[in-house]
Each structure stands twice: as C-alpha cells, then as structure tokens.
Structure 1
C-alpha cells in the first residue's frame, strides 16, 4: 500500500507525496543489466529523482537525476517508503524492466540467468543473487576467456582486480574511523597503490602501509564480506590468495628526518617521566595534534609502560604515515575517536582520563566538545566525581 511522505520543498514547507517507482533509467544500451530506479515526486514536475541510501543501506532521501538517459516505464509501479531497504533496477535479456529489493529481484533474475551468454555479466548477476554455483562457473569462464587473449597468469591477476579488489576498497572506504582523516575520493586515490602479484604458489594482494590499522580493524560484517569474496576468488583462480598490508615505514630521509628524529626522542623522554598513564596519554595526544610532523618518528621510539596507552597509540599510529597531516585533521580524528578512547580505559580510570585530556585540550574546540559529550552521556560514579573539575578545565 502506498504511504504518504512529507518531502521538503525549496521554500522550506512540506508537501505530501506517495512514493512509487514508475521508470528505470538505462545508463547503457546492452541487455541484460542493472538500471536506475526513478521516481517523480510531483505531478506538476517532470523532474526524475533517484533514491539515496544511507550507511544501513536504507532509503532516506532523493537526488534529482539530471543526466540525459533512456527510460523504460514499468508495467506496474513499485511502491516503497522512506526507511525501506535499498531498491535496484534491472532489465532482462529481452528488455523487460524490474524493480525491487535484492531479495525480491532474485526470483526475476533466476528466470533469465541461463539466457545470459556473456560470462562477466552472468557472474555479476549470480553474485548479486548470492548464487555461488553459477558465480563459480561464470567466473571460471571469465578467466578462461581472458587467458586466451593475455595468458593464464595475467588472466588470474585481472580477475582478482575486478572481483576482489572492489570489495576490499569498498570496505576500507566505509571504515568510519578512516573517513575522519580523508574523503572517499582521497582514499580511492591512495587505493590505486594496491598491488597484486602472482608466483608459483599464490596470489598476493598488498595494501599501502597507511591502510594497515584500518584493514586490521574492519567491522565484523566487512571482514566477513571480504572473507567470502576471497574464498570465492580462490576457488575460481584455484590458488591461495594472501591479503596483507605493508609494514608502516616512518622514515622520510634527509636532514629534516634527523631533526624530526631528535625532536621525537626528546619528547619521548619527557613523556616517560610523567607518573600516570592518563597524563602520559594526554601529553602524547597533545603533541600529535600540535606537532603532527614528528608523529612518525615518535612512534618509532616510544613504547609506554602501560597497556592502555599502548592500545590508544595503535589507534592513532596512522598519523605517522601522512606527510600532509595537520593539526585540524588530527584534532578531528581524536575527537571522533574519543568514545573509543573513553571505553578502552578501565571504568575506575575513565574520569581520570577525561580530566587529564581536559587540561591540555581546553582550547581545542572539537576535542573539548568530544570530552564534554562523554561527561554528559555517562552515569559512572568515578567520572561524575570529576565532572566539575573537567568542566572547569574546559571552561564550560
């Protein structure tokens, strides 16, 4: 049943609409293929819109689709609502349009999967339907077809690039902690430095060093998706696939490198003399924000005597591999990581951690705000006992 949706107009008011996909847009001329679900939000306008998807893969808004594109009208409109699952458009091998969720479209795709002659297209649809049997068969056919033109080993590397690397890239771009440092476009640019090599025993996929922490700390769902893709890819290419990140290398070379190393050693010595873990952590994070250029050398020479501080250092070690790191970016990152910094401490230690951080970051707007949020959210006695002191430090 169609529902009523309040959509904001340009003047700020709201107008009620039923949401229905009436068309699909074809970005290509080949059948079969995926298409773009399109809706009209007003009877008085011919503007077409495409649904926008949030991180949970649910529809939350619409974007005007302004490109000149061939459209095909659906025989029956597809009704949906804000907050529903992501929807897809598909056109089959004879030009019939379909719209629905991934689950809904599986039956429609199954009806024409055997009619697809091009192996790469068949593999893409089989993958969409989680049809491992058809995916494996089509994937092997893709490799064999490519091998006839470029040779078997090059065909294997090519397949890893088109099948596994996009999933790996998507997971990394989606890692929330890393997006606090770079935009998605900047991350994709750095992902161009991924390498795929082949030897007699295996295929080796190596990530650039600055993805080391991100790759090791992906979410369970992202890790599971990469693992599934890696296993399928392994069965198709019939070789083990090794995924790894290069070791972090903080050496830059030259006279400037020696100056940074000296400054880092001096800083490390001063911090080691501080008595409490909380004060040492605050001093380290403050130095990384105020002097981010020495962070790489600092990580080489400093190991704390407290396990909690070393755990936090692993979170921020990525600072050392960016030559263009500045105080604004590092502040943003630490502010975003504040909930994790807070939760990683023992409960009796958390108030002391915030108190130490509040002393050094009182004038840092983003980090001081992140500290105040933790105070407002918690009900822990040890934190509340120090809340007044922390607010006073932050001048709240």
Structure 2
C-alpha cells in the first residue's frame, strides 16, 4: 500500500478546458464571464440573495466585519474551536472576541453558552458549522433576534449542506464558503464566497469589494463615472480561479456523493470500535444534512490520540488532529476572553483525529486505514501498546 495523504485537491477533468478558455478570452481580471457564472450557480444552489466570489473565505469574513460595522470595543461571540480567520476578521476591526464552549456531540457552538456571554457591547454572533454539520440555527437566530444581534455563518466547510432543508450560509444575515484546496469544492487552491442574505448589504458589499469604489454601479450604467465612496480593498479572485471553480461547481453532486460514500464506509467499518466504547464516531443530527467534509473519531484522551496518529503514520497513513482552541493561544489570550465554563472545548478537541478523506481516495485505501485503526486498538487491548 502506497502512502495515503490526508488530502488531495479534487480534480474532475474539465478544469483545464475552462482555464484555457479563460486564457483565450484575454480577460483574466475578476468579475468576468466565469465569475458571473459561478456566482449565479451559487445563488441558484443556495437561494441566497447575492453571492460574491472572494479570494478566500478569510476575505469574506473580513467583509462581513465591515458590513456589520464592527467598531473598537464591540464584542463578537464565536466558538474557541475554530480556525484563526474566524477571529482575525473581527479583531482587525477592533473587536474583542468572546470565546464560548462547543457541544460535545457536534463540536458546534453551544446556544446556551452564547446566551450567557451576551453583554451590552455584543454586536454579532459568528457560528461555525464544524465538519459541515449545522449548528442549532433556530435557537441561535432566536437569541440574536431577542438581542438585536447580527449572525454570520462561517460555512467554510459546509457547501452543499443544509439545516432543516435550508442551505447553510443562507440562514444568518451573512455567510461565507471556503474553496481552499482542503475543502470539498476548490477554486484551484485558494478561494471563497460571500453569501448576502440581507439585501440591504448588497450595494455596500460590492463597493467594499471593489476597493471602496462604486465601479459596479458604473458598469451597470447606474452612474456615469465611478469614484472612491467608502473604505474597501481588493477582494476579487481572478478569472482563472473562477474557471477552475465553475468546473467543480458543475460537478458538485458527483464530488459530494463520492465523499459521502467514503464517509459511510469509514463509519460502517469503525462502528465495531464505537460499540466496544473504544472510540466516538461523528454524529449528524436529524436537523442537518451531511456533506462528508470531515471524517473524524475521538480517542480516549490526548495521549491515545498521539499514539494513534504515530501508529498510522508509521504505516503510511497521514491522520491529523484539528484546531487548538483559540482561547489558549497567545493572541487569543491577549485579544479575547473565554466566557463561561470550558466543559467540552479543550477536552473534546484533544481527543479528535481526522482521517484521510478526499474525492480520489479509494475504497481499498479506506479499508486499509480502518484495518490499521482496528489493529491499533487490538494491540492496546493485548497490552502491546
């Protein structure tokens, strides 16, 4: 068995044709034909009022912070178990990030922890749909409505997933997708999208994205010249990225179906360990669909996790742990605060192991990974580890 990497970017085969077409068009800057096709596809797929391509999901979060007018002294509530971009986007605007606990079963932000962390300075709640599995959006939107707060969905991992039939990224006021190479769908290594669900944000989002100018209005003929009208930056991906992304979006169902097949194979083969109370497998609640972004298992503790990762590595399998809670990091301690009790975040994150899962992974490779995980626990039981 050759080495099994943790990830390979998906390739469906027509990306190069679209890239060549973009090159032949002699138009490679952003917002060309391929960008517009991608945005229309995302709008039709999700039902969002407006989709705008981004150079990254991080950039999308930064625009979200600007759109909800984050100011120095504002507080933004988010899970500590997330990628640093979720916090950075708001810290850059002067906010204090308020970290709260996650729920053990899904690793998603706890609604009760959100409620306990709200103060008069709270401006927004950022939810992260971990592994693509939905947060409890009815409860969270209800809390936000009661306290007049914005909700931003970090749906970086959640393309193709839904909450009670509604696309993730379209339930809060704003949402973001990632098209990084580790995600189910990629735009050639980096990329993202902003989903605008409150139409009052659309015009300003277009201005911020175009360096603070009203160029979009000019191109549509709404104004006779364009000028600098707001703060902004360059948030447009190139047509080459959009061309790659369109090929992926057109094959989204095929990619997601294959990933789900692999996810289910992992679950079936490793269930024997869960039945023996040796590991915990992922839970997908009835209110959420499953886009098979991540397959993980949870070991007994961090020592067992470290041993398992090493065991698999020695046998040619790259398995990894995930986020180190932000509230324990240098910047997290300086720029934020954990409110409430850390019941699950630290303990559960130390148990979690992510297994290889990508479009080109074979059934034989999944079987090999599972066989070695089962062998690992057999060796523990027999005292050889």
* TM-score scaled by length of structure 1: 0.22
Higher relative contact order (CA 8 A, sep 6+): 2
Scaled by the length of structure 2, the TM-score of the pair is 0.23
Structure having the higher Rg:
1
